[in-house]
Amino acid sequence: MDNKCFINEAFTYAINEYLSSKNLPESEKYNSFFAVVIRSLMTIYDELDILNPFYFNDETLLYTNMTKYGYGNVEIDELFKELQKYYDKENDDGFIFIEKRLVDMFIEKYKSMNLSEDEINKFRILLYSPKAQNPLMVSYNFLMANNPNEIIDYFEKQLEENVKVEPEPIKETLNLEAYEILKYSLEDIKNMSANELDDVNKKVYNYFDINANAINKKYLLDKAVYDYNHPKSALSTGNGYVDILFILSIIATLVMVIFIITLIIL
């Protein structure tokens, strides 16, 4: 593959630098700028996302892989062109430009996924700064950057500006009478967080023996609260029709008893 050009000379050179030194992590070549660019890309994406298109000589596949988190084709073109200029020693400012575009790529991934601190740090240590992963990178950063902290400061600022703010959970309020039955006041409910109220709601459903996962749980709760506040009389069976028949039978019995007593008296 060395004698073929993939994307451009600079990108091909960078991949070959990485491949020829990947088993020598302390070597100068592995920690050279072009190899670190490839390593950074492989941290943002996957190793195969970068290498498979190279092996198959499929530039379209590379663009597809590198845009999967939302980074645009135009921006990728700019990165490759700037990498070539830097390779040709046409523009020393390309060092900062390329590093910042790599940060932008990572931020697109950061915005679309829940990355752990370890995943963030794997990318952070590949950035050129006074605290870079390798002393060669530290030295190169002091040589090329007017401000040795420019890249790492840019990265931290982008992280801060794109931090994910989790939406406040919505408080689900149940039948207020149910809370009162369990000795919770309206003021108590208002002052609870969504998580605290969720715990209380579970207690409410459990108190009324209702499955908290039931689709009609709120209807069942309303009915249970009504029944709690309107207890049936001792003579009630719970069935209105049966109750009527039961009452009529009692009345008929009383009438019969009164009739018999009247006959006896007479």
When pLDDT is cut at 50, 70 and 90, the band that residue 265 belongs to is low
User: Nearest-5° angle of CA 19, CA 150, CA 49?
Assistant: 30
User: Which one-letter amino acid corresponds to residue 214?
Assistant: A
pLDDT digits (tens, 9 = 90+) for 105-160: 999 999 888 888 999 999 999 999 998 878 999 999 998 888 999 999 999 999 98
Give percent of the chain above pLDDT 90.
46
Q: What does the alpha-carbon distance between residue 24 and residue 129 come to, in Å, rounded to a whole number?
A: 22
Band the pLDDT of 2: cuts 50, 70, 90.
Answer: very low
pTM of the model: 0.63
- Residue 225 pLDDT > 70, yes or no? yes
CB–CB of 16/2 below 8 Å? Answer: yes
Calpha distance 132→33 (Å, rounded): 12
Tell me the average pLDDT across 162-185.
Answer: 79
Domain spans in the chain, listed from the N-terminal domain onward: 9-161, 170-231, 238-266
Spatial CB neighbours of 28, under 8 Å, sequence gap ≥ 6: 136
Q: Tell me the two tokens of residue 241.
A: 């029709």
The contacts found for 26-32 with CB under 8 angstroms, 24 or more apart, are: 26/134, 28/136, 31/133, 31/134, 31/136, 31/137, 32/136
* Percent of the chain residues past pLDDT 70, beyond the cut: 83
H helix runs in the chain, sequence order: 9-19, 33-44, 47-56, 59-66, 73-87, 94-112, 117-124, 135-144, 150-161, 176-181, 186-191, 194-207, 217-229, 240-265
